[in-house]
Amino acid sequence: MAELPVAPCVRILKKAGAQRVSEAAGKYFAEALEEIALEIAKKSVDLAKHAKRKTVKVEDVKTALRG
């Protein structure tokens, strides 16, 4: 089960051009986004740890997104 709310995910799909979004599609999209976000978060945390910090900074997230 996804931690992300489904409604904002449906809005993203509609913003991308979908006229209608099924409940199942919204839920699956939320789950997919969560998996992607978790990978970015893990990379960001690793970068902060490598820099001997406990705090994840915006630079960590930007670097994680690039690589």
For position 64, what pLDDT does the model report?
98
| Four-point Cα dihedral 29, 35, 33, 38, nearest 10 | 160
The superfamily (CATH) of domain 6-65 is Histone, subunit A (1.10.20.10)
Kindly indicate the confidence band of residue 1, based on its pLDDT and cuts at 50, 70 and 90: low
Q: Could you tell me what percent of the chain has a pLDDT over 70? A: 99
Do 63 and 47 form a contact (C-beta atoms < 8 A)? yes
Q: Where are the domains of the chain?
A: 6-65
- Cα radius of gyration (the chain): 15
Q: Over the stretch 28-52, which tens digit does the pLDDT of each residue have? A: 999 999 999 999 999 999 999 999 9
Q: Could you tell me what percent of the chain has a pLDDT over 90? A: 94
First CA to last CA distance, the chain: 27
Rounded Cα distance, 44 and 39, in Å: 9
